[in-house]
Amino acid sequence: MQSKDGLVSNNASTSTTAPRSLFDKLWQAHVVHQAEGQPTLLYIDLHLVHEVTTPQAFEGLRLANRKVRRPDLTFGTVDHNVPTTREHRFNILDTVARQQIEALRKNCADFGIHLADVGNAEQGIVHVIGPELGLTLPGKTIVCGDSHTSTHGAFGALAIGIGTSEVEHVLATQTLQQNRPKSMLVRVNGALPAGVTAKDLALAIINQIGTDGGTGSAIEYSGEAIRALSMEGRMTLCNLAIESGARSGMVAPDETTFDYVKGRPYAPQGEDWNKAVAYWRTLPSDPGAKFDRVVEVDATRIEPWVTWGTSPGMSAPISGLVPRPEEGRDEVERTGILRALEYMDIKGGTPIAELKVDRVFVGSCTNGRLEDLRAAASVLRGHHVSPRVQMMVVPGSELVKQQAEAEGLDKIFLSAGAEWREPGCSMCLGMNPDTLLPGERCASTSNRNFEGRQGRGGRTHLVSPSMAAAAAVAGHFTDVRLWKAGE
């Protein structure tokens, strides 16, 4: 197999004329070795590392007297544990968290890996900084010891979340053993209605196919509604591919992608840029490309979406009701609903719009980018957060923070009574001090509503940034499409 740019794949058995999908092209271009009865060895172009899932991997390298094969293709940052208050960022009170961050510093120094540390202008959530620095590019294979690595697929990259043993494997060999996933096309037909975002679309898709609907698969999202999404929106969508169980989510690169990437610090420049774009234009799925499964989604029926339960698939439109256990399709689902309602302390049949919130969190690798903060700010402008609600806004990176402040978004959040924090993963998973108290109910722009995810006993409802902001003002969920601008 040889494409016109001269990139040769070892997959000699594939016909040169058969139409190929984006996934087929990405996979074939990265095959290092394949043999019957063994997983394929794929080359990895970019390995992002953070403090939580790497210390044991570096320790493994040391024990086996191994080096990092390609420190130049490895990039580190700290995000999961870092406090988001200025006074504690450089003085972490949690000694275990501090040791883990110090371990990453030592590991990056010892093995020659660039680290975007706290205080560095490049620091931020690993899935926010990869794209904004131009490290994440179309055509790449990207891995990180974090399930939300699927985010990077928004650029037409093959991005796979891995465990710590695999992190060690990639550090040592710059390759990953993978069984070829099944391919799945999610075609989103029609346009999203006004006021409906990529987050709502993503939650609606998970609701449609289930939290294991994508298991074993690489998903490509296509269709009119996807083409119309910004890069931020595509990142939100691909970020949540893992919540449907998919190994990766991806969107074919187009002009929107190239416009986003151009001029970013680590993106190709000059003549390399032209060559890169020429190559990237060859990546979209060929007409007639085959997929193992095709799912059709009607974008026009999607509303602002809210999760009510303890799994990202347990969700309903804002106009809908919390389901009753007897509405489950089988015994497993009925038991699941019953358990979730008990944990969430809500009754089946309750209108979603009647659910009151105590806390609001805007941020995370799902919705912590500039466009997300703009959406939340535009709802808050001229309004005040309800006195019974505490709202926290956490930018996804130093760059997002700087850009938001340059636009005055921080002023809008602060004058509305919300907190404006420093960048990190924060209350998406509450590894740092930002957590819910037992029983607190939170409207969150993050990605998981599992039991205790944001703090033991905490209750999480996943929504878009504009829905979160509207809930902060109203004190309960409300349809942001009917929102009245403030004075």
Q: Of 208-267, which residues contact another protein (CB under 8 A)? A: 211-212, 215-216, 245, 247
Nearest Cα neighbor of 470 from 479, 461, 458, 457 is 479
Footprint of another protein on 303-362 (CB under 8 A): 311, 332, 335-336, 339
Q: Considering only residues 425-484, where is the footprint of another protein by CB under 8 A?
A: 429-431, 438, 448, 450-453, 456-457
Neighbour count for residue 326 (Cβ, 10 Å):
9
Which position among 75, 155, 260, 279 is part of the footprint of another protein (CB under 8 A)? 279
Q: Is 295 helix (H, G, I), strand (E, B) or coil?
A: strand
Q: Which H or E run contains 222?
A: strand 217-222
Residue matched to tokens 């006004």: 194
Among the listed ranges 52-60, 82-90, 368-376, 478-486, the one in contact with another protein (CB under 8 A) is: 52-60
- Which is nearer to another protein, 190 or 268 (by Cβ)? 268
Question: Is-contact 153 248, C-beta < 8 A?
Answer: yes
Query: Helix 231-239 crosses helix 198-209 at what angle (to 10 degrees)?
Result: 30
Q: Which is nearer to another protein, 139 or 153 (CB)?
A: 139
Shorter beta-carbon distance to another protein: residue 335 or 415: 335
Nearer to another protein, 54 or 466 (CB): 54
Looking at residue 485, the DSSP 8-state letter turns out to be P
The values of phi and psi at residue 191, to 5°, are -105, 150
Measured from the CB atom, is 328 or 486 closer to another protein? 328
Token pair for residue 313?
């698939």
Nearer to another protein, 166 or 232 (CB): 166
What is the DSSP secondary-structure string of 113-132? Answer: -EEE-TTSTT-B-HHHHHHH
363: nearest Cα among 289, 445, 293, 282: 445
Phi, psi of 452 (to 5 degrees): 70, 5
* Among residues 28, 88, 89, 94, the one that binds another protein under rule CB under 8 A: 94
Report the nearest approach of another protein to the CB of residue 140 (Å): 11
Site for another protein in 386-415 (CB under 8 A): none
- Shortest Å, Cβ 169 to another protein: 5
Residue closer to another protein (CB basis): 246 or 418: 246
- Please report where in the chains the tokens 């109203």 appear, as a residue: 474
Which stretch in 117-125, 228-236, 274-282, 385-393 sits in contact with another protein by CB under 8 A?
274-282
**Closest listed residue to residue 421, CA positions, set 439, 441, 397, 403:** 397
Applying the rule CB under 8 A, the residues between 18 and 47 that interact with another protein are 32-33, 37-39, 41, 43
CB 464 within 8 A of CB 165: no
Q: Which residues, numbered 164-203, are part of the site for another protein (CB under 8 A)?
A: 164-166, 168-169, 172-175, 177, 179, 181
Q: Which stretch binds another protein (CB under 8 A): 54-62, 128-136, 291-299, 354-362?
A: 54-62
Cα–Cα distance, 232 to 249 (Å, whole number): 14
Q: Which of 76, 130, 145, 233 binds another protein (CB under 8 A)?
A: 145
Residue 84 identity (one-letter amino acid): T
Which part of the chain contacts another protein (CB under 8 A), choosing from 17-25, 143-151, 190-198, 361-369?
143-151
| Using rule CB under 8 A, residue 139 touches another protein | yes
For the bound state, the minimum distance from the C-beta of residue 91 to another protein, rounded and expressed in Å, comes to: 17
Q: How far apart are CA 148 and CA 155, in angstroms?
A: 14
CB neighbour class for 205 (10 Å; exposed up to 12, middle 13-18, buried from 19): buried
Q: Shortest gap between Cβ of 371 and another protein (angstroms)?
A: 25
**Least distance CB 324 / another protein (angstroms):** 18
Contact 367, 456 (CB under 8 A): no
One symbol per residue from 68 to 87: x for binding another protein (CB under 8 A), - otherwise; what is it?
-x----------xx------
Q: Site residues for another protein, window 112-131 (CB under 8 A)?
A: none
Q: Mind giving me the DSSP string for 176-207?
A: EEEPPPEEEEEEEESPPPTT--HHHHHHHHHH
CB of 29 to another protein, least distance (A): 9
* CA-CA-CA-CA torsion sign (169, 174, 180, 184): positive
List 2, 12, 17, 64, residue binding another protein (CB under 8 A): 64
